[in-house]
Amino acid sequence: MKPSTISALLGSLFFATSAAASPSPVLAPRATSVLTPVTITGNAFYRGNERFYIRGVDYQPGGGTGVESDPIANATACKRDIPYFTKLGINTIRVYAVDNSKNHDECMAALAEAGIYLVLDTDTSKYSLNREDPKESYNSVYLQSVFATIDAFANYTNTLAFLSGNEVINNVTNTDCAPYVKAVTRDMKQYIGSRGYRSVPVGYSAADVAENQEIMANYMNCGTDDQRSDFYAINDYSWCDPSSFTTSGWDTLVANYTGYGIPLFMSEFGCITNTRTFEEVAALYNTSMTNVFSGGLVYEYSEEGNGYGLVTIDGDTVSTNADYNYLSSAYAQATNPTGNGGATSTSASTTCPTESADWDVANDNLPAIPAKAEEYMSTGAGTGPGLDGSGSQEAGTADNESTGTASAGSGTVTETASASSTKKSAGAKIPAVDTKAFMVVATIMLSMLSGMVLL
């Protein structure tokens, strides 16, 4: 069973939960932690003149509790975990959701001191695109939250990248979300530029849906430069130890993405079908992959009830699991290639994909930014809503928001009715955030449905 199928099922199980009420402290001016910022040239990341490979873990302790919380607003918790990051030999963590009304100075500075960068998802459960109704959910209330998160993190030199969405498209049935994902990416880039921030890279994290992951990659890298992503990231669980470059299909993956003109990395990897020994790490940092990939992040640091945890956290105590040690030695043994690892120095755009049975997007036009959201370009976004509030998914309508007349977009999205476009039922609002915390439930459901035992 492919993880994408599991994710698709998970989508229907995930409901927004209200975070525990907490006061929103007034934000103090942010200290700037010092770590050389990562930049992009061609299809690779660089730190100074040296190629930079992401070696990391996904980090969302508490992600399995059902109550969304910010793991890097609590310096005590963050400092508890940093020694374990150091022992793993990582240089990057990915965080799926933060509270943009909170201050992150202390944790970000401690991470910087440990040489660790942050890849940050700017969505939260309540403030995100709704894959069941992307047009309605692309509104100024959502973008205000996204922009406030940018304000909260753009000044840290160890903010490596922002992710404009995670697995919004998680099936063959919802590629009609693509123009909205791309519009959000465009808007984030414009906000960063308009506010005079360092050019923190912005890109999207794609689910492993065989039919559209690569089409989406091409779509995110086509069009004008202001519309193109700075990088693309994929979640991939196809290497299940014991395996190999060819058995896993990673050789085909590399072949398929060869020539892709912007950096590519794995925003999640680490199949748990069998005991994880992380054999794939040797391949990921080998020249057979580094011409196309810039490393990746293992899903995930803490055990959240789904079997993916490298450590188990109990209050202030962290205990490492067997795969933590395997990953630590795999990272230690996988030295970076010399030189630039086969990277290309020029950034090539892609031809926009055409509509097909697998791709429910009629043309290259993007929705215009809602007029209210465009005002934030000059005024700033102001205070973020944090994880609370009424959320954004139903805050605007197609009539008063996402067909706004602002000039940032090149047009409006044309609704299409291709054969593959199954219209969604008007059911639960499904946030496009990390859903793997519900893997256990989904596994049980899948087993019941298919009579198979998966894990």
Ligand X SMILES: *[C@@H]1O[C@H](CO)[C@@H](O)[C@H](O)[C@H]1NC(C)=O
Residue numbers of the site for ligand X (CB under 6 A)? 8, 11-12, 29-30, 74, 76-77, 80, 151, 155, 171-173, 210, 245, 249, 252-253, 256, 282-283, 286-288, 315-316, 372, 396-397, 400-401
Q: Least distance in Å: CB of 252 to ligand X? A: 4
Tell me the β-bridge partners of 204. 232
Q: Least distance in Å: CB of 12 to ligand X? A: 6
One DSSP character per residue, 16-80 reads --PPPP---PPPPPPP----PPEEEETTEEEETTEEE-EEEEE--TTTTSSS---TTS-HHHHHH
Does the annotation count 268 as an active-site position? yes
3-state secondary structure of 246: coil
Non-local (6+) Cβ contacts of 34 within 8 A are 112, 157
- Compare residues 8 and 57 and give the one whose CB is closer to ligand X: 8
Supply 435's token pair: 């859903």
Tell me the β-bridge partners of 311. 302, 320
Other C-beta atoms lying within 10 Å of the C-beta of residue 194: 14
Distance CA 16, CA 126 (A): 7
Does the annotation count 50 as an active-site position? no
Nearest partner of 343 among 37, 40, 42, judged by Cα? 42
One DSSP character per residue, 380-430 reads ---S--TT-SS-STTS--IIIIIT---SSSSS-PPP---TT-PPPPS----
- Compare residues 28 and 225 and give the one whose CB is closer to ligand X: 28
Q: Which residues of 417-454 are buried (b: 16+ CB within 10 A; e: fewer)?
A: eeebbeeeeeeebbbbbbbbbbbeebbebbeeeeeeee
Catalytic residue among 132, 136, 167, 304: 167
Q: Give the containing element (helix H, strand E) for 184.
A: helix 178-194
- What burial class does residue 277 get, using C-beta atoms within 10 Å of its C-beta: 0-12 exposed, 13-18 middle, 19+ buried? middle
Supply 391's token pair: 């959320």
Q: Least distance in Å: CB of 401 to ligand X? A: 6
Nearest partner of 398 among 408, 384, 412, judged by Cα? 412
Q: Least distance in Å: CB of 253 to ligand X? A: 4
Catalytic residue among 268, 280, 304, 401: 268
Task: State the Rg of the chain over Cα.
Answer: 20
Query: Which residues carry out catalysis?
Result: 167, 268
